[in-house]
Amino acid sequence: MEFRDVLYETDGRLAYITLNRPEKLNALSNNLRGELMEAMREAEADAEIGVIVLKSAGRSFSAGYDLTPARSAEDDTFVDPRSKLPYTGSTHPGATQWARHVVMTNWTIWELAKPVVALIHGHCLAGGTELASVCDFRIVADDAKIGYPPVRAMTTMDMMWTPWHMPMCKAREFAYVGDSFSGEEMVRLGWANYAVPKEDLGEFGEKFARRMSNVDNEMLMYSKRAVNRQYETMGIVDGLHSGTEIQALSAQRAAASEWGRRVRDDGLKSALEWRDGPFRDFRGAYESAPKDRAVAGMDAKDKGSKSTGY
């Protein structure tokens, strides 16, 4: 099976799937996501494989969803030919269905018969955190930067995973502000299993996965299913799906148009600098970023628009 944006390799009881768009910091295009889920199914079907290891080429695990036109799949080999989105059983028609599609796509990993170990280094942002969060285990470089900056100006999180992985106060901080947390901090908060120096990540992750692969496949499947069903009984499925409806509403708020306008008029990089400028991190760390910009939507208020709620 030939992939373009992921690498698929096997080594004994392990299958390695590598996000392979290093020049784009592994931004999650539709094609990459489609290939990723197909590679996951390939590993699931292989009786010789016991554990799947997800990792990334280059400087970062993933900078999030691809926000450029390159997000579109060039062909329909690994995506639905109608929607050009990864297969989920629906074509997800409509302008506000992205988050629903994201959750349904990621749920493929949740329902896999085999455990998935994510090895995370560099930046793990936005959609990258959603992908990592649906894996069974997360091993991180201690200096990794994990965050969700789109909540600063774009929409709420597509997949509201924070209440399921973090204490309430930190779940709110992560979901409201978009600041990054280090790998070490994410272990302390319970999101990741272990934090190790970046140079040791591959070796440590392999040992972790190989130790688990000593368990037979059916036992691993039933153990994973037993844990998953507990979270499902507690409401994780309904919770994540309800979050996608809130995300769709957040995209319709008055200030949301400012983000889109800035992308159209000034380009994506400039819009990212505007988004992150007051926070002085990510693209906001650039000298050209506006550090003291007005809050999105305040211009409308200043012009006398009282109907926005701002």
CATH code for the domain of 65: 3.90.226.10
* Residue 72 shares a structural domain with residue 170: yes
* Residue 261 shares a structural domain with residue 134: no
Question: Is 305 a member of any domain?
Answer: no
pLDDT for position 68: 87
Question: What integer is the mean pLDDT of 119-127?
Answer: 98
Question: Is 28 a member of any domain?
Answer: yes
Among 92, 90, 174, 91, smallest CA distance to 133 is for: 174
Name residue 188's amino acid: R
* Residue 239 shares a structural domain with residue 263: no
Question: Is 275 a member of any domain?
Answer: yes
Mention every residue, 6+ apart, whose C-beta is less than 8 A from residue 83.
91, 92, 93
- Residue 62 β-bridge partners: 124
* Residue 192 shares a structural domain with residue 285: no
Question: Is 13 a member of any domain?
Answer: yes
CA distance 125 to 65: 9
pLDDT for position 310: 25
Whole-prediction pTM value?
Answer: 0.94
Question: Is 304 a member of any domain?
Answer: no
Question: Is 171 a member of any domain?
Answer: yes
* Residue 182 shares a structural domain with residue 205: yes
Domain around 276 = 254-294
* Residue 140 shares a structural domain with residue 277: no
* Residue 196 shares a structural domain with residue 261: no
Of 214, 229, 249, which one is at a domain's C-terminal end?
249
Question: Is 44 a member of any domain?
Answer: yes
Lowest-confidence segment of 127-136, 196-205, 253-262 by average pLDDT: 253-262
Domain count, the chain: 2
- Residue 7 β-bridge partners: 18
Helix orientation angle between 127-134 and 98-111, rounded to the nearest 10 degrees = 30
pLDDT for position 74: 80
- State the burial class of residue 20 (Cβ atoms within 10 Å of its Cβ: 0-12, 13-18, 19+): buried
* Residue 141 shares a structural domain with residue 260: no
Question: What integer is the mean pLDDT of 197-226?
Answer: 98
Q: Which two tokens stand for residue 82?
A: 């109608």
* Residue 113 shares a structural domain with residue 99: yes
* Residue 180 shares a structural domain with residue 215: yes
* Residue 183 shares a structural domain with residue 287: no
Question: Is 158 a member of any domain?
Answer: yes
**Mean pLDDT over all residues of the chain?**
94
pLDDT for position 94: 87
Question: What integer is the mean pLDDT of 232-247?
Answer: 97
* Residue 161 shares a structural domain with residue 283: no
